[in-house]
Structure 1
Amino acid sequence: MDNVQNEWPLWEVFVRPKAGLDHKHCGSLHASDAKMAVRMAREVYTRRQEGVSIWVVRSDQIVASDPDQKDQLFEPADDKVYRHPTFYTLPDAVNHM
């Protein structure tokens, strides 16, 4: 079985909980295709029916920033205070933000 799993692609699993607004990363699994990845994710990460939606993404398809370049990527935002939502008040109806 280990040889088969080593040949199958790695999938990242995201689940939207019943009470949640966005998908949360739950973990990873090996599966032969997307359909199988969703089925396996349901079995592994939502055993108690705590989810309402599952996303699976092949790990090799994820593009991420380089942690070593965080200063040049995130530092420029500090001088643009207008991008921060501190100049207005949200109504109580929008309590999840």
Structure 2
Amino acid sequence: MSSTESPQAPRGSWPLYEVFVRGKRGLNHVHVGSLHAADERMALTNARDLYTRRNEGVSIWVVRSDAITASTPDEKDPFFSPSGDKVYRHPTFYAIPDDVPHI
């Protein structure tokens, strides 16, 4: 048995993890890929080795795929339509002063 294999479960039954990395110049984490691992620690270590080989990351998140709940493309219109009638949420509703940078 190699050092990366778990004695509890055969390799083929390891759960799938989604990997998110925040780059040195980034403000948010970006989905970079997926991997199978026996546990969270192994997923984090393998994600570091696989997705940050060139020192481009400063933070990594790993999330089990079965723990993610997402909307589907079929429900796009009804799911997001309630925000369409709230114009005050759009940045065009506000006057931005000339002396305010980066908005």
Say yes or no: TM over 0.5: yes
Larger radius of gyration: 2
Report the CA distance between 1:26 and its aligned residue.
0.3
**Pairs within 5 Å for 1:1-97:** 4-86=10-92, 87-89=94-96, 91-92=100-101, 95=102
Deviations 1:4-53 (A, max 9, x none): 44300000000000010000000000000000001000000000010000
Deviation of 1:66 after TM superposition, in Å, equals 2.1
| Cα offsets for 1:41-74 (capped at 9, x unmatched) | 0000000010000000000000001221111111
- Once the two structures are aligned, what percentage of the paired residues are identical? 60
Q: Distance in 2 between matches of 1:6 and 1:89?
A: 55
Gapped regions of structure 1 (runs ≥ 5): none
- CA RMSD, 1 decimal: 1.9
Unaligned ranges ≥5, structure 2:
none
Normalising by structure 1, we get a TM-score of 0.86
TM-score normalised by structure 2 residue count: 0.82
- Mapped to 2, the partners of 1:88 and 1:42 lie a distance apart of 44
